[in-house]
Chains A and B, each alone.
Chain A
Amino acid sequence: MAAPDGPILIVGAGGIGAPAALALGHAGVRRLCIVDDDRVELGNLHRQILFDEGDVGTDKLASLRRALVRRFPALEVALRPGRALPDTALELCEGAAVVIDATDNFASRFLLADAAHLVGVPIVHAAAVRWQATVLAVAAAGRPCYRCLFEDVPGGVLVDCATAGVAGPVCGVSGALAAERALDLCLGRAPGTILTYDGERDRLREVPVAPRRDCPLCGAQPTIGSLDAARYMPPACEASY
């Protein structure tokens, strides 16, 4: 496979970002750029498979780069400490071959969806919670996008890994699928489907996703042309899920 021009940008060096980086290293990818602001915790180790007990308390980015370069000496790993925020997301995504969204909250997911679309970079959204994983690949400025499927930042109390837990192997599956879809995007393939994995029943499904005509990001008359911080605030009242 021809090496992509820019790095593959992984936002989130946790349960999905780490196995995705490992899979991409094994696939021969030459350049990664990884974004995170966290430290390794003992409770991360069951799913963040490139860390061990000796890494607990250390900077997650530095430990991840160390683990990757030990395995893949030719791999160039750039680090971007911090989070993707409305005032940094465009610059982070600009020039990337593909963005892998491995974040743990909806605000970041919608922000990255918008940023990647606005700068014309393909993106893979990978998520996992409890025993379920989903992976959606979106071509450069392509359709369908994350907003075609999930519309806008939900409010209420939604489950995430911190509140509901996640099975470590499910994160691994999500990360591996994200890497595979990122490589697909590098080759110009965007199937327009979402992958869902049910770790309780070991079922992998590929579900077609249709573009939404009135999507504010990729629809016929888009209304999202910049990253306004207020757009990524959840509504005050919405039912829990």
Chain B
Amino acid sequence: MAVTVRIPTPLRPLTGGKDEVSASGTTVLEVIEDVDKRHPGVRDRLLDGGKVRRFVNIFVGPEDIRFLDGPATVVKDGAELSILPAIAGGSAGH
């Protein structure tokens, strides 16, 4: 299954600046592990053991995998996987 993974700016140092990468896998976990093979470190930034880190959200298309099957969520060929980390910046010193 070929999947497009959209990479948020905080992770782009790991993907050589790419904002999206192609990966394969039949589940979200397999896709993440495939990305990690070529861009080491991505898996650890997204997953804590087998769970998605609590300050990270992963979407397959418009669906948050938290409400599907988590990392075991099945992805279809041509799917788009988006990563949305929590960010905090806004008011220096506040």
- Which positions in A face B, CB cutoff 8 Å? 11-17, 36-38, 41, 43-44, 83, 101-106, 108-109, 126-134, 149-152, 154, 158-162, 164, 166, 171, 174, 194, 196, 198, 200-201, 205, 207-210, 212, 238-239, 241
The reply to whether B62 and A208 contact each other, CB–CB distance below 8 Å, is yes
The reply to whether A38 and B84 contact each other, CB–CB distance below 8 Å, is no
The reply to whether A103 and B19 contact each other, CB–CB distance below 8 Å, is no
Contacts known (A131-B9, A198-B9); A103 close to B55, Cβ less than 8 A: no
Interchain CA distance A160-B92 in the complex, whole Å: 9
The reply to whether B89 and A154 contact each other, CB–CB distance below 8 Å, is no
Residues of B within 8 A of A198 (CB): 8-9, 19
Known contacts A16-B90, A158-B55, then 6 further A-B pairs from the complex at CB < 8 Å, ordered by chain A residue: A14-B94, A15-B89, A160-B88, A161-B90, A208-B64, A241-B85
Instruction: Select from chain B the residue with minimum beta-carbon distance to A159.
Output: B10
> What band does the interface of chain B fall in when counting residues whose beta carbon is under 8 Å from A?
20 to 34
Interchain CA distance A38-B93 in the complex, whole Å: 6
Residues of A within 8 A of B66 (CB): 210, 212
- Which positions in B face A, CB cutoff 8 Å? 8-10, 12, 19, 44-45, 48, 53-57, 59, 62, 64, 66-67, 82, 84-94
The reply to whether A103 and B94 contact each other, CB–CB distance below 8 Å, is yes
Contacts known (A14-B94, A207-B82, A207-B84); A160 close to B89, Cβ less than 8 A: yes
The reply to whether B55 and A151 contact each other, CB–CB distance below 8 Å, is yes
Residues of A within 8 A of B86 (CB): 106, 127, 149-150, 154, 158
Residues of B within 8 A of A103 (CB): 88, 90-91, 94
The reply to whether B91 and A15 contact each other, CB–CB distance below 8 Å, is yes
Contacts known (A207-B59, A209-B64, A239-B45); A104 close to B94, Cβ less than 8 A: yes
Residues of B within 8 A of A106 (CB): 55, 86, 88
Interchain CA distance A119-B73 in the complex, whole Å: 37
Residues of A within 8 A of B87 (CB): 127-129, 132-134, 159-160
Contacts known (A131-B9, A150-B55, A239-B48); A158 close to B88, Cβ less than 8 A: yes
Residues of B within 8 A of A109 (CB): 88
